[in-house]
Structure 1
Amino acid sequence: MWYWLFKQILIGPLLRVLGRPRIEGLENIPVDGPAILASNHLAVVDSLYLPLMVPRRITFLAKSEYFTTPGLKGRLNRFFYSASGQVPIDRRGGKAAQAALRTASRVLEEGKLLGLYPEGTRSPDGRLYKGKTGIARMALECGVPVIPVAMMGTNIMNPIGSKSYRPTKITVRVGAPLDFSRYEGLGGSRFIERAVTDEIMYALMNLSEQEYVDIYAASLKDGGPAPVGGTGAHDARVAALHPRIPDTEAS
């Protein structure tokens, strides 16, 4: 109930006025059954406009800290994140990656849509960054399709580092589902997980028309070196079609 009220009454009308949003490829989202929506991540409002434009409820994974902050601010946070379709990651008995997989499995086993950002964080400059392999692990272990989604214009409305919002035109572009059933039984292989993740990122690159950068966005935000000379569509295509054995990474 709160999810519907949140979309249609509490914040939906304002989002429609500010963003004049439209969605392309809605027919690619199944009317029922589990699936993962894999989206690029340009701004905080991605998590508002994507649920607004998709009729089915989308569940996002959120840090449990968002739901445990004490006081009035904590209660407001819990209401906001719960009403917008986010659930806390259950960290009991495991590390963050294992907890995320456990929570995602529960959501998908219930036949729901799971929303994920493969980059792991917002893009620092509007480009598309290397995807983390956690999404591949979830897709392979749960045996569900991955549907690429490109958010366009949200970084203009809400630039990173800014708390201001400016009217603009938001487009949500949904691509054809990606079927990874050919890898059935191969979940847990880092080589396979990297191949699946690169294929997802290649689809997102084509859909969003962003330049691709073959480093993690988080490493750049943490002060890591910027890519020399940049990387573009050719490198993403090579990565997707000829995946390499990945370095050790946190997903």
Structure 2
Amino acid sequence: MVNSKKHDILERYHNLLENNIILTDNFLQWFKEKKIFPDFIFDDIQAISSPRERNKKFLLSIIDNGDIGFTKLVEGLTLHGQPFLGELLDGEDRKASELTTEASERVFIDDDLLRKCPGIDKLRADTREKLKTYLQTQLLKAHLNDAWKSQNQSRAVEVINLKRQHYEAQQKLSETIAEEKRAFISLKDSMQSEQLARRRKEDEANELQKTVDKLQSEFEQRWSGQIKMIDANTRCLFKMNDKMAVLTDWFGNLDSILEMNVLQAGSQYDT
């Protein structure tokens, strides 16, 4: 069983927890992975349709699982979107420990006080010790309950404020997520538009490249034809040059022959 302090805390806030705990699938799955309860307990809880009755069954199982149940309840509430309830229970546990230490020093039943009880002398020594321990425990419990009752109203207001803060934070988070979602959709549309524009430019670039390749091919063909024509003309010129050189030599020889004949004819004429 849960120790007296933790048990009292759960009993004290039983109605608050029944009305406010939200047993989501992730929350129950987390408890299942921690092996706090047997599997059939989870099946029984999930089979209940009423949220309040489910919470009631869940809290009873927490109480039956001792200190570890209380500790895991605080941890689970904090991790699964209900931190104000987890912090409430954790704060009450710490405060109860502090009050217990303080009250143990202030509230104490000694032998002198015990002897004032009628008929106490007729009891055996071990019975008197048991009675003293029992009275000490009950007196301490009553003192702690009185201390809690004096703070109960302010604690209730604090819980409400925590719930309000949690709700406002959740609303802000929802608005932020919605805004980010809209921004994401806008960015996605913009990226799609850019992709379409880039695709069109790529198509235009491909068409332009095809045109350039075609012009280059035509230019290379024309240039090749021009080179062949120039080469043919060059060879023709070289051939004509060779023929002209031969013809020039022939005319030179002819001139020499004619010049010699003319000189000889002149000499004969002079004679």
- TM over 0.5, yes or no? no
Larger fraction in strand: 1
Highest RCO, 1 vs 2 (Cα 8 Å, sep ≥ 6): 1
TM-score interval (norm. to shorter): under 0.3
Larger fraction in helix: 2
Q: When the two structures are superposed, what TM-score results if normalisation uses the length of structure 1?
A: 0.26
Q: When the two structures are superposed, what TM-score results if normalisation uses the length of structure 2?
A: 0.24
Instruction: Choose 1 or 2 for highest CA Rg.
Output: 2
